[in-house]
Chain A
């Protein structure tokens, strides 16, 4: 999380009702996000400086895999755009052994309500990752994912910024992970809209994909 003090507390409180261990990586926030997250009951791992979302994910993985009893890892955005029941359903599919990795998708059942241009960017990213990894994914940049502990141990993200989403999928592909998608609903609150990635970021996503 990066400067999410207004929402992170309620997001963590909701998660803790379903999941016993919540790790929150604070990516060098300048507000009191870390204190709020700690107060809500999460373990907070604090980056001393801002490194980016990909770096925060990797830190979260490395923290989680220290626990020998770890059986699965869920990645969940701190801004409250994901639903806990989606995460729980995805976790069940991993635990059942149906797949090593379950990725959330906004487009799988056609209910994602995003703007046409943003949809185009995300679709292009999905097509590109299909061509380079063989996975038939509909949404390559969804922050909600569930994976087995074994996968979390083998992932080593080096892209600190936005390109980490495609890097993650490439590494799953190299590990020959069984990847499936799960339709998820994104909660577009006023807050998440005000913070959401701008479309200009789509330019970065595409550039990262094609000029790696």
Chain B
């Protein structure tokens, strides 16, 4: 029974790692992320086979249980994720703003064509 759970967990970690390996923009960031990910996958796999290892590490750090150590790690990872996704959202918003503004300006009549209160339906003079 134990070996089944262990295999399932290792497979889950491996699949998650693989999924995260793909994609990304900046080459350096991507490399760093992949290294961190490899380490994480290695640690996760090891902890499946040697559950005592986490507790030992936690004790060495002055934290009671191994699960607490995992929880703290999770909180840190979550905050980093929040920060990076916030950053990405801002970049994305800036891009959308530029794009939408370009469209808005291109579709509006040029000031020299629009000047004066005469017929607003007057067609533009072309490019």
Interface of B is mostly: helix
Whether B101 lies near A55 (C-beta < 8 A) is yes
Q: Is the CB of B117 within 8 A of A59?
A: no
A177 within 8 A of B: no
CA distance A16 to B103 in the complex (A): 26
In the assembled complex, A110 has its CB within 8 A of some CB on chain B: no
Contact A63 B100 (CB under 8 A): no
Instruction: Tell which of A43, A51, A58 touches B109, judged by Cβ atoms closer than 8 Å.
Output: A43
Query: In the complex, how many angstroms separate the beta carbon of B96 from the nearest chain A beta carbon?
Result: 7
Interchain CB contact under 8 A, A66 and B111: yes
* Contact A63 B108, beta carbon cutoff 8 Å: yes
Question: Is B67 positioned at the interface, with any CB of A under 8 Å from its CB?
Answer: no
**In whole angstroms, what is the CA distance A146 to B117 when docked?**
22
Binding site for A on B (CB under 8 A): 93-94, 96-97, 100-101, 103-105, 107-112, 114-117, 120
The answer to whether B97 and A160 touch across the interface, beta carbons within 8 angstroms, is: yes
In the assembled complex, which residues on chain B have CB atoms less than 8 Å from the CB atom of A44? 108
- Contact (A25, B104) CB under 8 Å given A16-B117, A38-B120: yes
Chain A count of residues within 8 A CB distance of the other chain? 25
Are A59's CB and B104's CB within 8 A? yes
Cβ-neighbour of A51 out of B100, B110, B117, B120 (below 8 A): B100
Q: Are B108's CB and A48's CB within 8 A?
A: no
Check A48 against B100 for contact (C-beta < 8 Å).
yes
The residue that B115 contacts in the complex, of A21, A25, A48, A63, with Cβ under 8 A, is A21
In the complex the two chains form, is A58's CB within 8 Å of B101's CB?
yes
Bound complex: CA of A94 vs CA of B120, how far in Å? 29
A55 B112 Cβ-Cβ under 8 A: no
Residues of B contacting A59 in the complex (Cβ-Cβ under 8 angstroms): 101, 104-105
Residues of B near A64 (CB, < 8 A) are 111
Is A49 part of the contact surface with B, judged by Cβ < 8 Å?
yes
